[in-house]
Amino acid sequence: MNGQPTLKDVARACGVTAMTVSNVLNGRDKEVGPETRKRILKAIDDLGYRPNFAAKRLRAQKTSAIGMLVLDDVPEFLNDPFTTQVVAGLSNFATEHGYSLILQGLRSESPSTVPMLGHLQTDGVCAILSGSPDTRRKFIKRALGLRVPLILIQEEFDHPLVCSLRQDDRGAARAIAEYLVDRGARRFCYLAPSAHWPAISERIAGSQDVCNKAGCSLTVIECGDESFEATQKAVASSIGTEGLPDAYIGGNDRMAMATIRLLQDRQLAVPEDVRVTGFNAFDFASFAAPSLVTARSDAYEMGRRAGIEMLKGIELGGFEHNDFVLPVSFVAGQSA
Partner DNA sequence: CTGTTAGCGCGTTCAA
Partner DNA sequence: TTGAACGCGCTAACAG
Rule CB under 8 A: say whether 6 interacts with its own copies.
Answer: no
Give the Å distances, CA to CA, from 78 to 87, 128, 200, 274. 9, 11, 20, 32
For the beta carbon of residue 35, count every other beta carbon within 10 angstroms: 8
Least separation, in Å, of the C-beta of 318 and its own copies?
A: 16
DSSP 8-70: HHHHHHHTS-HHHHHHHHTT-GGGS-HHHHHHHHHHHHHHT----HHHHHHHHT---EEEEEE
138 binds, among its own copies, DNA, none (CB under 5 to 8 A by kind): none
228 binds, among DNA, its own copies, none (CB under 5 to 8 A by kind): its own copies
CA-to-CA distance for 141 and 230, rounded, in angstroms?
31
Near DNA in 34-93, by CB under 7 A: 34-37, 51-52, 55-56, 58-61
Rule CB under 7 A: say whether 17 interacts with DNA.
Answer: yes
Rule CB under 8 A: say whether 88 interacts with its own copies.
Answer: yes
> Which residue in 230, 286, 312, 324 binds its own copies (CB under 8 A)?
286
Give the Å distances, CA to CA, from 71 to 8, 78, 140. 44, 10, 11
Give the CB-side neighbour count of residue 109, counting CA atoms within 13 A.
Answer: 4
> Which residue in 91, 108, 208, 280 binds its own copies (CB under 8 A)?
91
Give the Å distances, CA to CA, from 289 to 179, 228, 258, 264, 276. 20, 16, 11, 10, 11
For the beta carbon of residue 98, count every other beta carbon within 10 angstroms: 7
x/- binding map, residues 125-164, to DNA, per CB under 7 A? Answer: ----------------------------------------
φ, ψ at 32 (rounded to 5°): -130, 140
> Which residue in 29, 33, 38, 55 binds its own copies (CB under 8 A)?
55
Least separation, in Å, of the C-beta of 212 and its own copies?
A: 32
Question: Which residues lie near DNA (CB under 7 A)?
Answer: 3-4, 6-8, 15-20, 22-23, 25-26, 30-37, 51-52, 55-56, 58-61
Question: Which residues lie near its own copies (CB under 8 A)?
Answer: 3, 48, 50, 52-55, 57-58, 61, 63, 65, 68, 75-79, 81, 84-85, 87-89, 91-92, 95, 98, 100-105, 116, 118-121, 145, 228, 254, 257-258, 260-261, 264, 283-284, 286-289, 300
